């Protein structure tokens, strides 16, 4: 088992916590939205300066984006203003409502359908010279009604984080790293002692959805047209989790252990293992630098390997008077060299295959996160799905005392209302 020297890796993680976990999408309720489309035709072009709105994870990300944009601006001769939002979803919505949105902005997958359906966005994905370099699953994240809307800016997957000290003290070795659900249950039981729970995770779909993927399930079909929430595969996944929670070896980091999130439970050594994304490394470096840990791929379930991925893209406003320049800037920001520079500066995983070897070489102990790109499932992007998942999460909080089938039957009804 390789030793992990913690380094800052925040980026998409901080955004995941504020967007993917909270799911601040445009849709509300369980009814579908109006049909619509993005602006068609050629891109606008002018001498106007560009405005960019980002949801930064901190000074390192803000500084890195500013530096990259400044380099592009100097070369292109086009002025650019970068603003780090204090509340990205709110400020973006206010900009659109006022008719003065930023030209480019961070956009979460769950917000895509709402903005795309009312014509607020430009579907520029197929115009990108590097469009074939993005991981297909990320392209799917930002495809709406058959159109590839925006370039993924970075991403993360969920994997298994293991406390090396507790692992070694329990007499476990590299050979015991779990590769199946049975293995995971076994090592979690072994590690559950002396006030430590074997495995902890968030009380939400954005963590338990990894088990659903491993069982071959999902909330909606791959093409997003059919609700599949109460499938036998999803029932099997939640039943597996419930059984191990009942046994005391799995726990919710928040409800059961009283931690703010999985990373805190892990850092305080309340849990020997957690399911988290690569954003945990920044938290460990800042708050728990003395806790030694390793990252392993999540074990396979009945259907094979599975995990969830989280990402954001560079959204482009349909009202932008200088879309051509915005497209050129996006191509610069998503070039292989620039993405690797971002990774070194504030830690996100590059969303392009051409950067994979270099990133893995730079971050060998985090390779499991990137390996997940080959089999990760995305959070659904249907308009209105945010409210469905919020309701699902409320039900999951009481999983230990509830029937997984009944929970999923309710989710099925709610999902059908927005998918149809």
pLDDT average, residue stretch 187-201: 98
pLDDT at res. 41 = 60
Under DSSP, is residue 117 helix (H, G, I), strand (E, B) or coil?
helix
Under DSSP, is residue 310 helix (H, G, I), strand (E, B) or coil?
strand
pLDDT at res. 286 = 83
Q: Are 303 and 233 in contact (CB under 8 A)?
A: yes
pLDDT at res. 279 = 86
286 vs 174: CA distance, rounded Å: 27
Instruction: Name the CATH topology of 12-156+310-378.
Output: D-Maltodextrin-Binding Protein; domain 2 (3.40.190)
Helix (H) or strand (E) holding 15: helix 12-15
Instruction: Look at residue 27 and tell me whether its pLDDT is greater than 80.
Output: no
Instruction: Look at residue 13 and tell me whether its pLDDT is greater than 50.
Output: no
pLDDT at res. 30 = 38
Instruction: Look at residue 255 and tell me whether its pLDDT is greater than 60.
Output: yes
What pLDDT, in 10s, does the model give residues 195-252? 999 999 999 999 999 999 999 999 999 888 999 999 999 999 999 999 999 999 999 9
pTM score > 0.75 for this model? yes
Strands 147-148 and 151-157: unpaired
Strands 293-296 and 159-163: antiparallel
* Main-chain dihedrals φ then ψ at residue 31, nearest 5 degrees: -105, 150
What pLDDT, in 10s, does the model give residues 108-134? 998 899 899 999 999 999 999 999 999
* Main-chain dihedrals φ then ψ at residue 108, nearest 5 degrees: -80, 150
Whether domain 158-308+383-419 has CATH 3.40.190.10: yes
Q: Are 332 and 338 in contact (CB under 8 A)?
A: yes
Instruction: Look at residue 20 and tell me whether its pLDDT is greater than 80.
Output: no
pLDDT at res. 56 = 86
Q: Which residue has the tokens 């209105």?
A: 384
DSSP secondary structure letters along 195-246: TBEEEEE-SSHHHHHHHHHHTT--SB-TTS-SB-TT-HHHHHHHHHHHHHHH
Strands of the sheet with 197-201, listed across from one edge: 250-252, 197-201, 271-276, 159-163, 293-296
418 vs 409: CA distance, rounded Å: 15
Q: How many other C-beta atoms can be found within 10 angstroms of the C-beta atom of residue 126?
A: 10
88 vs 102: CA distance, rounded Å: 12
Instruction: Give me the sign of the Cα torsion angle 411, 212, 418, 112.
Output: positive
The ranges of the chain annotated as CATH 3.40.190.10 are 12-156+310-378, 158-308+383-419
């Amino acid at each position: 088992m390789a030793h992990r020297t913690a380094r800052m890796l925040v980026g998409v993680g901080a955004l995941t916590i504020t967007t993917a976990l909270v799911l601040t999408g445009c849709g509300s309720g369980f009814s579908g939205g109006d049909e619509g489309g993005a602006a068609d035709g050629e891109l606008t072009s002018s001498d106007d300066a560009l405005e960019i709105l980002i949801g930064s994870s901190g000074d390192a990300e803000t500084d890195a984006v500013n530096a990259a944009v400044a380099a592009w601006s100097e070369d292109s001769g086009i002025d650019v203003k970068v603003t780090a939002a204090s509340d990205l979803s709110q400020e973006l919505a206010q900009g659109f409502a006022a008719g003065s949105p930023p030209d480019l902005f961070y956009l979460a997958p769950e917000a895509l359908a709402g903005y795309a359906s009312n014509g607020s966005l430009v579907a520029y994905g197929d115009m990108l010279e590097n469009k074939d370099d993005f991981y297909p699953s990320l392209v799917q994240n930002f495809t709406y009604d058959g159109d590839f809307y925006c370039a993924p800016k970075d991403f993360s997957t969920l994997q298994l984080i293991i406390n090396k000290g507790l692992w070694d003290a329990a007499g476990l070795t590299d050979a015991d790293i779990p590769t199946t659900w049975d293995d995971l249950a076994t090592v979690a039981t072994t590690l559950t002692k002396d006030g430590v729970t074997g495995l902890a995770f968030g009380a939400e779909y954005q963590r338990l959805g990894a088990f659903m993927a491993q069982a071959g399930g999902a909330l909606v079909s791959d093409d997003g047209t059919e609700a599949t929430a109460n499938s036998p595969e999803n029932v099997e996944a939640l039943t597996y989790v419930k059984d191990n929670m009942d046994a005391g070896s799995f726990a919710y980091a928040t409800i059961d252990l009283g931690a703010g999130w999985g990373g805190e439970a892990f850092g305080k050594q309340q849990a020997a293992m957690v399911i988290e994304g690569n954003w945990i490394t920044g938290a460990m470096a800042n708050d728990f630098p003395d806790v030694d840990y390793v990252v392993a791929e999540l074990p396979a379930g009945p259907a094979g390997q599975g995990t969830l991925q989280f990402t954001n893209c560079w959204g482009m406003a349909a009202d932008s008077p200088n879309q051509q320049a915005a497209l050129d800037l996006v191509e610069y920001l998503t070039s292989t060299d620039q993405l690797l520079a971002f990774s070194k500066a504030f830690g996100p995983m590059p969303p392009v295959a051409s950067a994979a070897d270099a990133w893995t070489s730079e971050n060998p102990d985090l390779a499991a996160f990137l390996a997940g790109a080959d089999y990760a499932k995305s959070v659904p992007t249907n308009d209105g799905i945010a409210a469905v998942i919020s309701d699902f999460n409320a039900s999951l909080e009481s999983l230990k005392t509830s029937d997984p089938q009944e929970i999923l039957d309710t989710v099925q009804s709610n999902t059908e209302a927005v998918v149809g």
